[in-house]
């Protein structure tokens, strides 16, 4: 009789195998990727998935060997995985340095609570109900249901991205345009310094004087738009507007997803490609400003031991947050080091493009500096970002000083090694994050090297007119210049715009 019952029990286990911990092992990775899908490269989550699968298999197998029961091992494995993957979330939720009670939260206290919960999970796993077929079926169903939503979000996003791509390859010259004739178009460098504010406001807000940089640009033939303002307060709508030479109310724009598509497949890019330009782009750390299908795409390859942005974010949500936070004294262990090294790589590559890539070429370089995190010292070495709300008081000016000096070096190399005088635009996409008024938030560096400008530039030109001027001057187009205006919107509702007047007229 006992032998029959044992065989029957084995048959039940086989029929309703408890696979739910195996699926749950990848659920946190998929969920985090789905939440950040518009900001990341999906390849960034590969190592996190492998890590999660491996630790789940090892834990499940080890518990099965110890407990001699798949069902008991499955339940305890699930509980331990939940504790492992939620530790960082709970710590971040509870930790509040401004609260007199929550400010006392420490790793050692929360870890002690987690050990108690782990003991409770071990006790519950010995209960008879966790081995019942109905319980196993229910748990399998719950975890499968949990997996559906993030998987759907990821698949839906990828499908939409494919549908938004043009029917023909974007970076193929038009059949009716000659790229081998006598006409020689200039190289175009569109360099976005993210959050680089206008000179007067840098001085007013941070007390830093960058007039030496502007004077040096002027001495090299640049026109500085002294009243420069961005058209929008955030990178995505700002670049969607400038790269399509239109205000957003004239474009099919109502959210970041559409803006991302307009940045990657812009009217400026298509126009220049049709005129024989090679498209050159860089990895930025933000998927929506990365033109991976460019003719020449430069991707920074970090050292294998460095965590990318997604991995760092993911591991910070787990129990590994404890050792990672202690390891932050080691610069190479942080995602900020990847950010720093990527920008250095992009700057070095940008400097050598005149000889590395044959022209004519359109170079789109979105450099995430002086945007936070503030990972640069004045000399360009790695800076460990200081915590707290005043970190940018020193971090922002240091980043401005470094990138300003580095841009002068790059400009000199570009000018010295270009056979045809190039076009160079060095432009902020919006102002800094510490500001007192909306014009400060929208004020930007806006500098043009246009040898053929012939007085077509003016102090209050905004990015929406940048390529209208260029295409008119160099490609015999007839784009009317739009009225230069700015629009502010709150971060919680970035497409609900409020008109902001420019600080001066033409």
Q: Cβ-count burial of 364 within 10 angstroms (0-12 exposed, 13-18 middle, 19+ buried)?
A: buried
Spatial separation of the C-alpha atoms in residues 481 and 466, rounded to whole Å: 9
Q: What is the pLDDT of residues 170-197, one digit of tens each?
A: 444 433 344 444 448 999 999 999 999 9
Phi, psi angle pair for 138, to nearest 5°? -60, -45
278 in the same domain as 137: no
222 in the same domain as 121: no
Asked if residues 295 and 377 have their Cβ atoms less than 8 Å apart, the reply is no
224 in the same domain as 149: no
The enclosing domain of 273 has a CATH number of 3.40.720.10
For residue 19, the 8-state DSSP code is -
Confidence category of residue 33, pLDDT binned at 50, 70, 90: confident
382 in the same domain as 338: yes
pLDDT tops 90 at residue 405: yes
Domain holding 36, by residue range, is 2-161
pTM of the shown model: 0.75
443 in the same domain as 379: yes
In a domain, residue 263? The reply is yes
152 in the same domain as 97: yes
Tell me the sheet residues that pair with 160: none
Query: Given the DSSP bridges, would you call strands 423-427 and 188-193 parallel, antiparallel or unpaired?
Result: parallel
Over residues 332-338, mean pLDDT: 66
Say how many C-beta atoms besides its own lie within 10 A of residue 334's C-beta. 22
Asked if residues 329 and 360 have their Cβ atoms less than 8 Å apart, the reply is no
220 in the same domain as 155: no
Residue 190 in tokens: 């569109």
Q: What is the pLDDT of residues 445-498, one digit of tens each?
A: 999 999 877 678 999 999 999 999 999 999 999 999 999 999 988 878 888 888
In a domain, residue 198? The reply is no
251 in the same domain as 132: no
Among 29-33, 58-62, 331-335, 474-478, the range scoring the smallest mean pLDDT is 331-335
């Amino acid at each position: 009789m006992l032998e029959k019952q044992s065989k029957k029990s084995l048959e039940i286990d086989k029929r309703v195998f408890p696979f739910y911990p195996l699926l749950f092992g990848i659920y946190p990775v998929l969920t985090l990727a789905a939440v950040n899908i518009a900001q990341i490269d999906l390849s960034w989550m590969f190592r996190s998935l492998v890590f999660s699968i491996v630790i789940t298999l090892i834990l499940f197998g080890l518990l099965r060997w110890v407990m001699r029961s798949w069902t008991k091992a499955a339940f305890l494995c699930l509980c331990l995985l939940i504790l492992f993957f939620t530790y960082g979330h709970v710590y971040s939720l509870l930790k509040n340095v401004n609260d007199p009670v929550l400010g006392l939260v420490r790793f050692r206290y929360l870890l002690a609570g987690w050990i108690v919960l782990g003991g409770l999970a071990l006790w519950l796993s010995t209960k008879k109900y966790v081995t019942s077929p109905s319980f196993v079926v229910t748990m399998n169903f719950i975890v499968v249901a949990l997996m559906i939503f993030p998987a759907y979000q990821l698949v839906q996003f990828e499908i939409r991205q494919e549908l938004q791509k043009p029917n023909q390859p974007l970076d193929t010259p038009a059949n009716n345009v000659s790229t081998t004739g006598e006409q020689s178009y200039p190289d175009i460098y569109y360099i976005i310094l993210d959050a680089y504010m206008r000179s007067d406001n840098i001085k007013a807000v941070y007390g830093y004087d960058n007039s030496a940089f502007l004077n040096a640009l002027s001495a090299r033939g640049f026109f500085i738009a002294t009243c420069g303002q961005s058209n929008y307060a955030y990178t995505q709508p700002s670049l969607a507007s400038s790269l399509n030479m239109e205000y957003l109310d004239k474009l099919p724009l109502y959210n970041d997803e559409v803006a991302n598509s307009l940045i990657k497949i812009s009217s400026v890019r298509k126009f220049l490609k049709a005129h024989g330009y090679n498209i050159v782009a860089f990895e930025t750390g933000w998927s929506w400003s990365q033109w991976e299908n460019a003719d020449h795409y430069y991707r920074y390859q970090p050292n294998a031991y460095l965590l990318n942005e997604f991995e760092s974010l993911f591991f910070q949500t787990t129990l590994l947050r404890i050792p990672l936070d202690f390891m932050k004294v080691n610069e190479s262990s942080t995602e900020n080091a990847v950010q720093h090294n990527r920008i250095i790589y992009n700057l070095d590559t940008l400097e050598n493009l005149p000889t590395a890539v044959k022209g004519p070429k359109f170079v789109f370089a979105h450099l995430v500096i002086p945007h936070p995190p503030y990972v640069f010292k004045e000399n360009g070495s790695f800076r460990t970002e200081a915590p707290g709300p005043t970190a940018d008081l020193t971090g922002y000016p240091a980043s401005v000083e470094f990138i300003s000096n580095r841009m002068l070096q790059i400009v000199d190399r570009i000018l010295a090694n270009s056979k045809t005088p190039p076009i160079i635009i060095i432009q902020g996409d919006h102002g800094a994050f510490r500001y007192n008024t909306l014009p400060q938030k929208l004020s930007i560096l806006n500098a043009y090297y246009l040898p053929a400008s012939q007085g077509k530039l003016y102090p209050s030109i905004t990015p929406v007119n940048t390529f209208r001027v260029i295409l008119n001057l160099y490609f015999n187009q007839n784009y009317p210049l739009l009225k230069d205006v700015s629009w502010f919107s709150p971060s919680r509702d970035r497409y609900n715009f409020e008109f902001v007047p420019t600080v001066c007229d033409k």
